[in-house]
Amino acid sequence: MAARQHGVVSIRQLCGLGYSHASVERAAMAGRLHRLHQGVYAVGHTELSLHGRCLAGVLACDSNALLSHYSAAWLWGLLSTQPVPVHVTTSVRRKRRAPLCVHHSQTLTDADRAMEDGIPVTSVARTALDLAPRIRPASLERLLQRAEELKLIHLPEFESVLARNRGHHGASRLRRAVDLYAPPAFTRSGLERRFLGLLIEAGIATPATGYNVAGFELDVYWPDLRFAVELDVFETHGSHRSFEADRLRDEDLKLAGVELTRVTGYRLGREPDRVLERVARLLEQRAAGLSDGEARPGARRSPAGGAR
């Protein structure tokens, strides 16, 4: 059993195997068991892995206890360093168990339970919910980004956790962070139609679409200003290969004298007014830069910097 449990056992488990309390005490006195917490022992030695110390913390509470909060995030691979002390959540109120950090929750359900590396732990979604009010919004976004990289983002699981915990202190913050991973509000063609419609409503000069520059087809382009907008949806830019290709494309366009900005379907759906305001300001800055002497298409600069 100890080999399967990172070198730790509880007295409850030992009694289940037929050992008496007296025999456990004798094994502890003989140095075969080493007490870690009340009722929890390391077998043979105390050189435990971090996983062993995490499981020991869970076993020290009760059969419904789960590794949680920062410790759960570490176990899932969402944090690079294992926090001290070990954090555990249980549905049963217990006295303080130093050096553990024990949390009490009456909202834990079977859906919040998971098993990772043989350790009972809160699900990724529940872990994110518990950490949401304790860490900065930017840190929460990075945590979810890491979860996405590890393919641990399952939107139905997050939606279920949020639905069950509407009054949780972290619910609103987690909702804002999770919305970024929701399916896009627009397809690529729908995104283009929406963007062009907003430009017309705002009275911004109508651009060309599908314009070819330096061998690249641009989504939206103002030829006189050499200014382009790339309309992105995650599904077409969500791989490492696409990410690298996008960067090379941006560099090639810059070398061709084209200034480019990117607008995502997420941003356009959530904050269209802000997107339009920023695009309008960028267009104004671009026009001002060109009127101040920036080279027009096809112009060459002399070594001294003047056009000729």
CATH number of domain containing 199: 3.40.960.10
pLDDT at residue 183, as a whole number: 64
> CA 140 → CA 122, 129, 130, 147, distances in Å?
16, 10, 11, 11
Residue 300, in any domain of the structure: no
Does residue 308 lie in a domain region? no
The CA distance from 98 to 15, in Å, is 24
Report residues of the chain scoring pLDDT below 50: 295-308
pLDDT at residue number 112: 97
First to last CA, the chain: 82
Per the structure, the complete domain to which residue 136 belongs is given by 65-181
Q: Is residue 302 part of a domain?
A: no
Look at residue 105 and tell me if it is in a domain: yes
Q: Exposed, middle or buried, 141 (CB in 10 Å: 0-12/13-18/19+)?
A: middle
Specify whether 38 is located in the same domain as 84.
no
What is the average pLDDT score of the chain? 85
Whole-number pLDDT of residue 93: 78
Q: Is the pTM above the cut of 0.85?
A: no
In this structure, is residue 237 part of a structural domain? yes
Of the candidates 181, 198, 216, which is a domain's last residue? 181
**What phi and psi values does residue 63 have, to the nearest 5 degrees?**
-70, -15
β partners of residue 261: 229
pLDDT of 186 reads 53
Q: Is residue 74 part of a domain?
A: yes
Three-class DSSP category at 55? helix
Same-domain status, 279 and 217: yes
Q: Given this model, what pLDDT does residue 179 score? A: 82
Indicate whether 169 and 274 sit together in one domain.
Answer: no
Report if residue 307 sits inside a domain.
no
The total number of structural domains in the chain stands at 3
Answer whether residue 37 is part of any domain. yes
